[in-house]
Structure 1
């Protein structure tokens, strides 16, 4: 496993951008993000991953959490929207997207985080804290 970088983006209505997933019969949600490549910094990886996954250009505001999750280090960044139209991006998720392994970016209210099963659990508390 390699370190991951994750972006937390809120819209004007206070909703957070999540990736709704269906995989192996399981439904859950994650924050957009992915592996850090080569000599990238975690912040650079966050910007690249947001573009690849959800077609948005973002600016990193600050790192808000470093988490050890399932033996992997994850860097969480609060980001702001700079451009682009939210949709499934042209990165690996767009290529792998299928009925059995689906990816759907969506704006979700903070009150619905439990209903969409946002994982990991620490991400729910983090998003709630940042939204408040």
Structure 2
């Protein structure tokens, strides 16, 4: 079983950062993450993978889910204080793996659009909604 780690990253507007994927004719989305390297903790892998995939430095918070999924033992962490310019990072997704057949596109997605995105694994959708920061009630201008 392969060990993976992923981060749940929200911006100030309460949008979640997803990697929109197109691979082998399928379209889906994932949370930024990837394999845990030898000698690395799941939390360290989360921070490294977010930086490699989407060019953001994050503070890794609590582990919020561990699951076995498609031959992977996956760790999910809530992150805080994302810093940097969000874009496809300098890791293998942006430098080696990116092609017409294997496409990666990081994007901020509003929570009310989550149902329109094929977010995998299936548990991620409820997890993201449950962890979303509360948005301050905005006063209606009259």
Give the TM-score normalised by structure 1: 0.96
**1:103 CA displacement:** 0.2
The reply to whether residue 110 of structure 1 matches residue 128 of structure 2 is no
Partner of 2:41: 41
Partner of 2:76: 76
Query: Distance between the aligned counterparts of 1:81 and 1:38, measured in 2?
Result: 26
**1:81 CA displacement:** 2.9
Q: Figure out how many residues of one structure are paired with residues of the other and give that number.
A: 132
Partner of 1:63: 63
Structure 2 residue ranges without an equivalent (≥5): 135-142
Partner of 1:128: 129
Give the TM-score normalised by structure 2: 0.89
Query: Distance between the aligned counterparts of 1:3 and 1:81, measured in 2?
Result: 25
Structure 1 residue ranges without an equivalent (≥5): none
Deviations 1:86-120 (A, max 9, x none): 00001110121111110000000112122110001
Partner of 2:51: 51
**1:82 CA displacement:** 4.0
Runs ≥4 in structure 1, deviation > 4 angstroms? none
CA contact (8 A) 1:56 1:81 kept: no
**1:72 CA displacement:** 1.7
Query: Distance between the aligned counterparts of 2:13 and 2:60, measured in 1?
Result: 20
